[in-house]
Structure 1
Amino acid sequence: MTNRKRLRRRNWRPEQGIRLHVPGPSAGTAGSGITGTGTVRWRVRVGSVYSAPCVAEATVHVAGNGLWAIDATDGTVRWTRPDAGFMSAPPVVDDTVYAGQDRFFALDAADGHTRWRRRMDRWSHTPPAVGGGLVHFVNGSRYLRTLDAATGRRRWRRKYRRIGWNRSAPVLADGALYAVDERGTVRAFDPATGRIRWQQSTFAIESRTPLVHDGSLYLADGLGHDVFAPDAATGEHRWQAWPDVQSVSSIATTPAIHGNTLYVGSQDHRLYALDATTGKTRWHVVTGGCVDSCPAVADETVYFGSDDGHLWAVRAENGRVRWKVQTGGRVESPVVADGAVYAGTRDGYLYAIDAVPAPGAVSS
């Protein structure tokens, strides 16, 4: 393990007082934003980030150049593991961090020491689903695999897809385990045994991880612009829709939901808000780059990143822009916790930014 004092001195780079840029009316079809500024609380160089961080017990865990545990308050590095973590978000359950790449790790969240590890035949690029004493994950093989969360021993595995880079992670919700293969077939498994409860074909080719909420499963076509909403209990199709904009492109993100509104990012540089019951488009906001970041919703605000290096905050009800902040690289999926937005970037930084700065506030 790398020396902690040395890491603090080299990587801790607080950036207090950076101004948040508030765009004018041309930034989105929903209108102009609130005039105001805010601050970036801190940023830390962790290496290129390809996924969302995880915040637990005032610590931000993020996969960059290895796996990092960073104090959420001031950005000091608590520990790092250069041999664990790469492209997938590292979930924290109880006091354990789970991370996969060519090996699968269960690490102590307090200091990063290894509790168990398991070698894999192929790399994993998606986060595991952890719950009920089990860890469910996929990698580049044909199998959905389940391990004992305490020991790492294999419980079961099921063949469900062809070999290839998997873009969709398994999801645990309401007593079921859901997984989508590269051809858009959705399967619901019994988490304890791996028995298939139902399966349903869709046209969501190379879909990203689905969202399960209030009895529906939402997933987008990774190579197209359709959004699908099968019933989570039966697989029956509820609706299939696409944003009603001619230029709409592939939707390569996991949706987010707030109330009865579904939010999805698209590679046509837009974030869309859809009616969660019908799929009808409510509004959209235009950015300066592909929106490959999965949105996060908190306090009536939708946060998301764009490939042109901006983190955005827009009103959940109408898409009006609150603010955006420019970073040095593509912004990955953010998370919101304790009044801050945490997001990693491809140019190698993890940022902590005030979630909703007060209108008219001036940075020092």
Structure 2
Amino acid sequence: MRLLKFSLFIFLVFLVACEKDKISEKQTDNQSNLSSPSLSDANSQQKPKNPNDWQMFMYDLAYKGISPDKVLKPPLKVAWKYKTGGAVNSSPVVYNNTVYVGSDDQRLYALNADKWGLKWTFDTGGKVTNAPTVYMGNVYFSSRDLKVYALDATTGTKKWEVQVDGWVNSPLVAFNNKIYVGCYENKIYIFNAMTGKKEGDERERINISGIEFACVKGEFYPIDAHNRASGWKNSVQRSESWPAIANGFAYIGSRDKRIYAFDTKTRRQVWFYETDGWIDSSPAIAGGKLFVGSRDGYVYAFENGNETQITKSSSEGIVTQDKTIVYKEPKRSSDTRLTIVNEGTILPILGKSTGSWYLDPSSSWFKVKLPNDQIGWIEAENFVRTKQNDELTINSSIVKNVTRLNLPNEAETISWSPNGLNMAYFANVTYSNIYWMAQSLWVASGEGKDQRWISDGAFFNPIITWSDNGEWLAFENLNKTERQIWVVKYIGSGLKKVAIGEAPSLSPKGDMIAFLRRDSKTTSVWIKDLDKNTERKIAEFRTKGQESYVAYGYNASLVPPAWSKDGLFLAIALDGYHYDDRYTRVVILKLTGEVVRELAVRAWKTRNISFSPDKKKIAYMTQEHSEKRADDLLDRQVHISTIDSEERRETFKHCQGLSWSPNGRYLAYVEDLDTMGFKRKVWVFDTGKWQKIQLVTSKMSIEKAVWTDNNAITVLAQATSQKSSEPSKKLAKINGWKLSISLP
């Protein structure tokens, strides 16, 4: 039976391939083939009733992608663009002056087609990556939550939803009161369009109004559609977009972040527009406009005309939270709601904000001008006044000055002394295998001057720890298979090996080192007394989970223990392989080995543990789902917990690079953004008011923000891969800026 099924599958694949080849042989590159498709009478019924609409993916059931529009003609200019809360991989459709499009922020949007404006949104439980389709007054679409939805196209009210068995990797098809859904791996569901009731299912292939569709790995398309689109896809770099054709021009997106226009007769490129993200979305053409999404999070609308230089407002700000409400007046009320905007939306500020934005942000407001020229008000807790400074977009209400640092060219990981006067860094980094490795250790002044070589070695652990007075630093070296712990003074003297072990951490006074030793069955915590030259084991934890020491290999690095400011407590990261419940733990110990507290999180790894200087709070980062699957909610989360009996916790997703202010009130951290364009944000979390404040947004890959004193933060970002205009001059691997800030 298995052999028979396999033989049938091979036959179907062969048949599809043959039909594609036949169609390919008949295709030519002339305009008549592209603009005058031969459609069956039944297929013509699936064209939009209003030819100016684009109600489904690629316009009609045959996926020809040809609009009768006679207005649109390059060059084009941006008519408007709307910022969603995630990357826009979905392709838009247009019906009755409304643009329907999904976003990775798990919402379907209904936007005004004529000018910037939101009509409604609908929330799902997963990313909305495929094009919706509008049929009989409803809009139908799928989500990564494994559901298919039907909404009223005018109001966004849900009509029905159904669960399917796997991912849907292509748009839905609506015809003859039925909704066809291609589902992973090769199943085709058929639902009643009005009720959502399942009317049947098929495998691999189905005929819809005389057009043969095939479903392979959840991709459900007419069998010749990919073949016809490939000619235009091959005209640009790495395109996942499909071409839309109108008025003698073909439009297609590319992963070089551009939307292109080609003359269909000459196949010559005549226009392009560059966004800040990949354009995997396929364009739609309706009402003399072209609509397309980008992974920078925007939905773009283009119209005829030349792009002109936009005059920037003298004062502008940026929205810091998704689903931020804009009000008609500075008053929080359902009656005064105007619209909703998302994180990253940049708006001109009119006049001055009211009240004290920081001390009481819920009663402070910004008066703004929306892209459709409406005037509105946004609460200051969701909006900050910004200014561009070098490659950073700063919160100008807090950041008073920005100084670019001249960091050593070879520095790849930098650790500042607690007083900010000196830095230590590894250089000569190689990536000869899957592990990071440096070959030399250096120190320099806090500004990167007076660089001094300290030692060569095999450094697999990038973490360097300092004593509180900035006098000593500790690091780890690998000598063949032996993990060694070394200390040295910042001036370069006193270099010596002090212990065999891993992940060293200097005590605040610099008189002790906490470190780890591990084997296939245990991880033990040790303390080395540098004055007495003695060491003792204070705790041991057995490996109970499935992971083993062998799986890590000799080159993987452990997380150093974190000291409390008074030197009386240690916090240890015990990854998920220590336990059989799929939780990782942060264990707080006294120096006697007594366990004071355990903080358990459902993740596989814990990183960047640090006590606040007042010892009342602890922050750490978690990585990796405990079942070894990527998970948006558990990968790189920042956790903040109070340690006293009245526990209070806060969690921020997609974050890294923790650093406490010297006074212990503020925690700085870096957020990875969900879209292309702006890549990272730096936030400051105020534990006194238990609120977060956006400090910096940047298109650079910011890795961490480090407090050097209560009024200064250093921001570090990976340098771009651009080559220097001077061949003899090496470009720095890390860019750095010192931010002078003003906080209560």
TM category (shorter chain) comes to 0.5 to 0.7
Q: Which amino acid aligns with 2:682?
A: W
- Residue 708 of structure 2 corresponds to 336
In structure 2, which of residues 642, 657, 669 is the aligned counterpart of residue 304 of structure 1?
669
Q: Is the 8 A contact 1:98 1:105 kept in 2?
A: yes
Matching of residue 222 in structure 1 with residue 623 in structure 2: yes
Whole-Å Cα distance in 2 between the matches of residues 151 and 309 of structure 1? 49
In structure 1, which of residues 46, 54, 62 is the aligned counterpart of residue 417 of structure 2?
54
Q: TM-score, normalised by structure 2?
A: 0.33
For 1:1-44, what per-residue CA distance to the aligned partner results, in whole angstroms no more than 9, with x for missing partners? xxxxxxxxxxxxxxxxxxxxx97323289223333633314332
Whole-Å Cα distance in 1 between the matches of residues 641 and 600 of structure 2? 20
Q: Which amino acid aligns with 1:292?
A: Q
Structure 1 44/301 Cα, relative in aligned 2: closer, same or farther at 3 Å?
A: farther
Whole-Å Cα distance in 1 between the matches of residues 682 and 464 of structure 2? 20
For 1:304-323, what per-residue CA distance to the aligned partner results, in whole angstroms no more than 9, with x for missing partners? 33557646355746545343
Matching of residue 101 in structure 1 with residue 466 in structure 2: no
CA displacement at 1:160 relative to structure 2: 2.2
Matching of residue 32 in structure 1 with residue 32 in structure 2: no
Q: Secondary structure at the residue paired with 2:658? A: coil
Matching of residue 90 in structure 1 with residue 462 in structure 2: no
Whole-Å Cα distance in 1 between the matches of residues 415 and 561 of structure 2? 16
CA displacement at 1:76 relative to structure 2: 0.8
Q: Is the 8 A contact 2:419 2:708 kept in 1?
A: no
Whole-Å Cα distance in 1 between the matches of residues 695 and 588 of structure 2? 39
Q: Is the 8 A contact 1:223 1:252 kept in 2?
A: no
Whole-Å Cα distance in 1 between the matches of residues 477 and 533 of structure 2? 15
Q: Secondary structure at the residue paired with 1:160? A: strand
- Residue 493 of structure 2 corresponds to 113
Matching of residue 130 in structure 1 with residue 507 in structure 2: yes
Q: Which amino acid aligns with 1:207?
A: T
Deviates most, 58-67 or 296-305: 296-305
Whole-Å Cα distance in 2 between the matches of residues 349 and 23 of structure 1? 28
Q: Is the 8 A contact 1:91 1:127 kept in 2?
A: no
Matching of residue 68 in structure 1 with residue 431 in structure 2: no
Whole-Å Cα distance in 1 between the matches of residues 697 and 588 of structure 2? 38
Q: Which amino acid aligns with 1:323?
A: V
CA displacement at 1:104 relative to structure 2: 1.5
- Residue 323 of structure 1 corresponds to 696
Q: Is the 8 A contact 1:166 1:182 kept in 2?
A: no
Whole-Å Cα distance in 1 between the matches of residues 493 and 410 of structure 2? 19
Structure 2 counterparts to residues 231-246 of structure 1, below 5 A: none
Q: Which amino acid aligns with 1:135?
A: I
CA displacement at 1:107 relative to structure 2: 0.5
- Runs of 4+ off more than 6 Å: 298-301
Structure 1 216/159 Cα, relative in aligned 2: closer, same or farther at 3 Å?
A: same
- Residue 229 of structure 1 corresponds to none
Whole-Å Cα distance in 1 between the matches of residues 532 and 602 of structure 2? 35
Q: Is the 8 A contact 1:295 1:304 kept in 2?
A: yes
CA displacement at 1:201 relative to structure 2: 7.0
Whole-Å Cα distance in 2 between the matches of residues 313 and 221 of structure 1? 18
Q: Secondary structure at the residue paired with 1:88? A: coil
Q: Which amino acid aligns with 1:54?
A: S
CA displacement at 1:128 relative to structure 2: 0.9
Structure 1 304/131 Cα, relative in aligned 2: closer, same or farther at 3 Å?
A: closer
Q: Which amino acid aligns with 2:623?
A: G
- Residue 279 of structure 1 corresponds to 649
Structure 1 unaligned regions, length at least 5: 1-21, 226-245, 261-275, 359-364
- Residue 354 of structure 1 corresponds to 739
CA displacement at 1:109 relative to structure 2: 1.7
Q: Secondary structure at the residue paired with 1:33? A: strand
- Residue 149 of structure 1 corresponds to 530
**Bigger helix fraction:** 2
CA displacement at 1:217 relative to structure 2: 4.9
For 1:219-249, what per-residue CA distance to the aligned partner results, in whole angstroms no more than 9, with x for missing partners? 5543359xxxxxxxxxxxxxxxxxxxx9634
Q: Secondary structure at the residue paired with 1:208? A: strand
Matching of residue 207 in structure 1 with residue 606 in structure 2: yes
- Residue 179 of structure 1 corresponds to 572
Q: Is the 8 A contact 1:34 1:322 kept in 2?
A: no
Q: Secondary structure at the residue paired with 1:294? A: strand
Whole-Å Cα distance in 2 between the matches of residues 186 and 306 of structure 1? 22
Structure 1 325/92 Cα, relative in aligned 2: closer, same or farther at 3 Å?
A: farther
Q: Secondary structure at the residue paired with 1:195? A: coil
Q: Is the 8 A contact 2:619 2:641 kept in 1?
A: no
Matching of residue 292 in structure 1 with residue 656 in structure 2: yes
Q: Which amino acid aligns with 2:403?
A: T
CA displacement at 1:145 relative to structure 2: 2.2
For 1:169-224, what per-residue CA distance to the aligned partner results, in whole angstroms no more than 9, with x for missing partners? 31223522332311334544442xx5334564734542224444555555554335
CA displacement at 1:353 relative to structure 2: 1.7
Whole-Å Cα distance in 1 between the matches of residues 657 and 527 of structure 2? 27
Q: Is the 8 A contact 2:641 2:649 kept in 1?
A: no
Q: Is the 8 A contact 1:220 1:252 kept in 2?
A: yes
For 1:282-318, what per-residue CA distance to the aligned partner results, in whole angstroms no more than 9, with x for missing partners? xx7x9xxx42222444798764335576463557465
Structure 1 87/309 Cα, relative in aligned 2: closer, same or farther at 3 Å?
A: farther
Whole-Å Cα distance in 2 between the matches of residues 301 and 198 of structure 1? 24
Q: TM-score, normalised by structure 1?
A: 0.60
Structure 1 55/209 Cα, relative in aligned 2: closer, same or farther at 3 Å?
A: closer
Structure 1 198/109 Cα, relative in aligned 2: closer, same or farther at 3 Å?
A: same
CA displacement at 1:136 relative to structure 2: 0.2
How many residues of Structure 1 are paired with residues of Structure 2 in the alignment?
285
Q: Is the 8 A contact 1:137 1:169 kept in 2?
A: yes
Structure 2 unaligned regions, length at least 5: 1-315, 320-342, 346-380, 390-401, 429-439, 479-483, 544-548, 577-583, 673-677, 720-732
Whole-Å Cα distance in 1 between the matches of residues 422 and 563 of structure 2? 23
Structure 1 256/335 Cα, relative in aligned 2: closer, same or farther at 3 Å?
A: farther
- Residue 182 of structure 2 corresponds to none
Q: Is the 8 A contact 1:54 1:62 kept in 2?
A: no
Q: Which structure has more RCO (C-alpha within 8 Å, separation ≥ 6)?
A: 1
